[in-house]
Structure 1
Amino acid sequence: MKIEYINKNTPKLNIKEIDVKNFNNLSPIYSFTTENIARYFEYLDFKNKTVLTVAASGDHIINAFYKGANKVYGFDINYIALIFTELKLVALQNLEYEEFLHFFMINEKNDIEKNKNVLDYKIYVNKIKKDLSPNTSKKWDILYKEFENNGYNLRNSYIFNNKYDNNNVKIKSNLYLKSKLDYNIAKEKINETILINSNYKDINHKSLPNLNNCDIVLMSNISDYIKNIYNEETSYLEQYINDIMKKFKNKNNKIVCAYLYNIKNTIYRSKIDDPIYRKSIFNKLDITYKEKEFKSVIDNCTDSVIII
């Protein structure tokens, strides 16, 4: 496994600067995906493909390799997400299935007997730290030190967004977690991973020319946050679609430009959740798109992805 960071300068990790209210370059992270990756990855052919994806919890990257991807670029404006992704990739290589589950999953919240191995410091030092990049190792040392090397307190702290931290949901969401066999398949297939500390707008094609030829681009639910990137008074959804088309679209690739949660809910999280509005934008831009619906990992909900 090869992990490479494109950015020459890595950000400083000042614990006091972590923004718990807004999505930023230092924000709380999710331990696992909240998307039903296991379901919607069925609509894409990853075999021997080059993939660009949001890094987030690292699960998009691992599942892409599980499905046969050859090379994966993971980008994220949140630097903590990148160092967590590296932690998870190295843990996948160095831990057995049950160890991995116990290291990352909370299990029964507030029951320390069932959480005693979560982000366990001894496991971090003895089995993971040695294979982290020097900068990432330093950053995790800072985080552990902040919580007196107590992994349980770190895992249950403001560093993590634990709102949807349900173990059954995590396993349902991820192909590589469904069994020990699936986990070992992912372990064997993890290949070259390049991590980029950037939002999608600022990814530089001059330094990453191969991005012009990415076969699959996964934007996750970035569309929920684009109003914070563009001028909210403008048609920011139109600007977003235009930007990703210009940056990443070629005649042969597939871009999952949005993951939509609970699509039957008529109280919309953002403009892209409104089916009439998003159809009008795609029609205006003369862009053909497909929408795939599937069962959410949350009971009694339906999610979808938009593929262009």
Structure 2
Amino acid sequence: MFQNMPDFNQDTICTSQGYRKDLEVFLFSNENVAGYLDKFDLSGKTVLTVGASGDHAFECYARGAKNVDTFDINYRQKPIIELKNHMIKNIPYEDFLEFFFTRDRFFDIQIIKPIMPLFSPSLRMFMDLYYSIGNAGRKMFAYNGQLDITAHYDNTYYSYEEKYNLLAKKLPRGISFKHLDITGISANFARKYDFIMLSNIFDFQHSEISDGYQALNQFYNATLTDLSQNNLSPDGGTIILEYMWGNNASTRDQMWDAWQKFAAKQNSKTHATGHKMDNCFVKPMMGSKRYDNVLYMTQNQKIK
């Protein structure tokens, strides 16, 4: 089924312009989300996550999360999350794979015809746009040219039919989505979450700061402290604050040094802040021999 994947990647485009409201659409995550979520207990937990392709939300529900809310600065991710949610709940596993992972049946309208009455107006408009521009529609989607979507196929919700069907039973009828960037979270989400996932927003939040240690400090002071105070459970709440890819050795080593320095400083103040920094390594999705690194912060205000 996947022999056409290299050709498929050549038909899509990659952007390095950061995140913006009209960015091309991610269909699947290039992070090993399943790999690092297996290290956390999400059963019965509430989650706030970047919307992106929806994979962060789907993997959380697959692990027993009680509720998942999403946000994204790219409003075009909303219809993709809705589309995948409808398909997982109502379309057979093999058809899901055909629709997204083969060249000949990529976005084949015959596959989704049975569920089109379920589509919201915004999803209908999105699909109409795609089909109206023919093959050029593939340029609506952003893939990294190095991404092999099957690299960690065994780990994901779409790895086996059994996993896919179990997720279908756990998914709600719809996943909430708010169109905003990270600075608007506290004003738009009133609840406190057990788990917050920021993907690699950090990479673009303070990109003007070349020193990694200073950038982490700024991100902590300007973003993480506000999130932890307003939207994170005070009793063991966790923020995934950065997904660090291992494919660029020099950049990775510099950032790793910056993180170790930053984490040591913050952890020396844990009894004052209630925040503890940590990290875990996961196998990469992008063909690198170096493991990716997931940075996270846990909050426990009882120790202050």
TM interval, short-chain normalised:
0.7 to 0.9
> What corresponds to 2:128 in structure 1?
141
2:225 and 2:81 map into 1 onto residues whose CA distance is: 26
Shift of 1:184: 0.1
Q: Deviations over 1:211-235 (max 9, x none)?
A: xx2111111111211125xx64894
1:129 to 92, 95, 116: 116
1:300 aligns with 2:250: no
Partner SS for 1:117: coil
Q: Distance in 1 between matches of 2:49 and 2:90?
A: 24
Q: Secondary structure, in 3 states, of the residue corresponding to 2:38? A: helix
Tell me, in whole angstroms, the C-alpha distance in 2 between the residues paired with 1:305 and 1:63. 16
Asked if the contact 2:82/2:175 (under 8 Å) is kept, the reply is no
Spell out, residue by residue over 1:184-235, the C-alpha distance to the aligned partner (whole angstroms, 9 max, x if none).
0011000252101111111244x4322xx2111111111211125xx64894
Residue type of the alignment partner of 1:144: Y
Judge which range, 267-276 or 19-28, deviates more: 267-276
- Structure 2 residue 240 is matched with structure 1 residue 251: no
- Specify the SS of the correspondent of 2:249: coil
2:168 equivalent in structure 1: 187
Q: Which moved more, 1:58-67 or 1:76-85?
A: 76-85
Note the residue ranges of structure 2 that are not aligned, 5 or more in a row: 1-12, 298-304
- Aligned residue-pair number: 271
Secondary structure in 2 aligned to 1:160? Answer: coil
Identical positions, percent: 24
Distance of 1:28 and 1:170 partners within structure 2:
23
Distance (whole Å) between structure 2 residues aligned to residue 204 and residue 40 of structure 1: 26
Distance 1:267 1:87 in 2: 36
Q: Give the C-alpha shift of residue 143 in structure 1.
A: 2.6
Query: Which residue of the partner structure matches residue 7 of structure 2?
Result: none
With normalisation by structure 1, the TM-score equals 0.78
Structure 1 residues 281 and 198, CA gap change in structure 2 (3 angstroms):
farther
Question: Counterpart in 1 of 2:246?
Answer: 262
Residue 119 of structure 1 corresponds to 107
Q: Is this contact kept in 1: 2:263–2:277, CA < 8 A?
A: no
Counterparts of 1:65-104 in structure 2, within 5 Å, are 65-104=61-100
CA contact (8 A) 2:267 2:277 kept: no
> Which amino acid in structure 2 is aligned with residue 122 of structure 1?
Q
Deviation at 1:278, TM superposition (A): 3.5
Counterpart code for 2:169: E
What is the Cα-based RMSD across aligned positions, in Å? Answer: 2.8
Q: How does 1:1-308 map to 2 (within 5 A)?
A: 20=15, 22=17, 23-106=19-102, 115-124=103-112, 126-147=113-134, 153-155=136-138, 157-169=139-151, 171-174=153-156, 176-191=157-172, 193-205=175-187, 207-210=188-191, 213-228=192-207, 232=209, 235-242=214-221, 243-247=223-227, 248-252=231-235, 253-262=237-246, 265-268=249-252, 271=255, 274-279=258-263, 282=266, 286=270, 287-297=275-285, 298-308=287-297
Q: CA deviation at 1:161?
A: 2.1
**For residues 34 and 74 of structure 1, what CA distance do their matches in structure 2 show?**
18
Runs of 4+ displaced beyond 4 Å = 18-21, 269-273, 283-286
Deviations 1:93-143 (CA, angstroms, capped at 9, x unpaired): 12111100110114xxxxxxxx2111112333x134321211221122123
CA 220–281 in structure 1, closer or farther in 2 if over 3 Å, else same: farther
Contiguous gaps of at least 5 residues in structure 1: 1-17, 107-114
